[in-house]
Amino acid sequence: MTAGTAPAAAPVTPAGRRGQRGLMPLLLTGNLLLFSVYGGVASILLPLQVQEIDAANKVANLGLVTGVGAVFATLLNPIGGALSDRSRSRFGRRNPFLLGGAVLALAFLAFLGSADTIAMLIVGWCLAQGMGNVYQAAVTAIIPDRVPERRRGVASAMMGAGMQLGLLLGVLVAGRFTGAIQLGYVTLGALLVAAAVALVTLSHDPRPDELPQDAAASRTSLAKDLTSFLSALRHRDFMWVFVGRALIILGYFSVVGYLLYMLEDHIGLPAGLKGADAVALLMAVTCLVSVVSTVIGGPLSDRLGRRKAFVFVSSVGTAGAMLLPLLWPTWPMMIVFMAVGGLFFGVYMAVDTVMVTMVLPAQEDAARDMGVLNIANAGPQIVAPFVASVIISHLGGYSSLYLFAAVLSLLGALAILPVKSVR
């Protein structure tokens, strides 16, 4: 398949249609409870734990923990996807990686909660994120696996809404465990396991004998597959979508990932409002707005049959939102910033995910290549606190961070323009 050809949706056998009627809410829940882990840990639990261990160096240490973990965790996303692409388990192609990734993530989150040194935090967060990425690769592959192209805007909206709601849920849950951090980690991990169990038991993952013959015939050796998992980036449209996603996510989460410290050390809080509660309030604002824009933007792009315009405008809008706290660094403006940012970011996540499924180089490698794309999604979220810590500590503070995020978002918008195979 050439770089300019969008892959067709995989054929669904009669057996493969079983249990798919409720697939959309399962995708919503599956992504929601994954991102509740990311949101709760990155925004509340990990910063608090780092602060308890070494308050004087909290910004640098948080960046170190997240930065070291980034490489390990994000590599496991396409590797996990490649393994599930080649899986011929009688339990299904994705199910073992959904359930196995979630259970191991719970175990490593429990370990992370007991860490009392920066080194232990690095090890625990690497392992927990890594297993979360294995789960994420499998759940993301469900869209090209089982959803026809005409319905992918809706499916993408479910995934995008799940992401935003999950970040909020994670902050709300983690905020209740500021005095019992380990229990907070375990609670978030248990919710992820519940999501995996629901996906495995309530939807049908085709067994080997139900897979299309072309998919079965096309599989290569695992060793060859793993050594070539970045080959999708040689396809021009896929590469540009990858670059655009990475830039937008890095810019957005460089700011959002440092909300707790930002509010306490730079913006200032109203009297009587605690940092964790302020983060929860801001996340609630951006979540509610972004969920609305997501569920409108995704289906609307289906109806109009256009994706690039939605992605470009929402990227430019996100860049503009980043300038608000730069120009007016006040608590009321932070609320406005999170609302405006959530509006544009919600549309972006809904429609850009549809574009991803339409530029996959080969349907039989869907999970592997979606895993590669998820490097552009999960990787920047993980590495963002490290990048932000460098900017805050050495390159001008929080004001420089806002400008950095705005520039990245604008570059992300420009990266979409060379894509040719999607309108």
Q: Return the CA Rg of the chain.
A: 20
Query: What is the percentage of the chain residues whose pLDDT exceeds 70?
Result: 80
- Residue 119: both structure tokens together: 């080194």
CATH class for the region spanning 19-210+234-416:
mainly alpha
| Separation of alpha carbons 379 and 151, rounded Å | 27
Find, among 321, 391, 317, the residue nearest to 351 by Cα.
317
Helical ranges in 359-419 per DSSP H: 366-394, 398-416
Choice between 328 and 88, residue whose per-residue pLDDT is larger? 328
| Separation of alpha carbons 415 and 418, rounded Å | 7
Angle between helix 275-304 and helix 331-358 axes, rounded to 10 deg: 40
Q: pLDDT, tens digit, for every residue of 165-182?
A: 888 889 889 988 988 999
Q: pLDDT, tens digit, for every residue of 284-297?
A: 888 888 888 887 87
Whether pLDDT at 399 is above 90: no
Choice between 316 and 214, residue whose per-residue pLDDT is larger? 316
Q: pLDDT, tens digit, for every residue of 13-47?
A: 434 444 456 788 898 899 999 999 988 998 889 98
Task: Give the model's pLDDT for residue 2.
Answer: 31
How far is Cα of residue 54 from the mean position of the Cα atoms in its chain? 29
The backbone torsions φ and ψ at residue 258, rounded to the nearest 5 degrees and listed phi first, read -115, 25
Q: Is 416 exposed, middle or buried (0-12, 13-18, 19+ CB in 10 A)?
A: buried
Average pLDDT (276-304) is 82
Average pLDDT, the chain: 79
Whether pLDDT at 244 is above 60: yes
Whether pLDDT at 365 is above 70: no
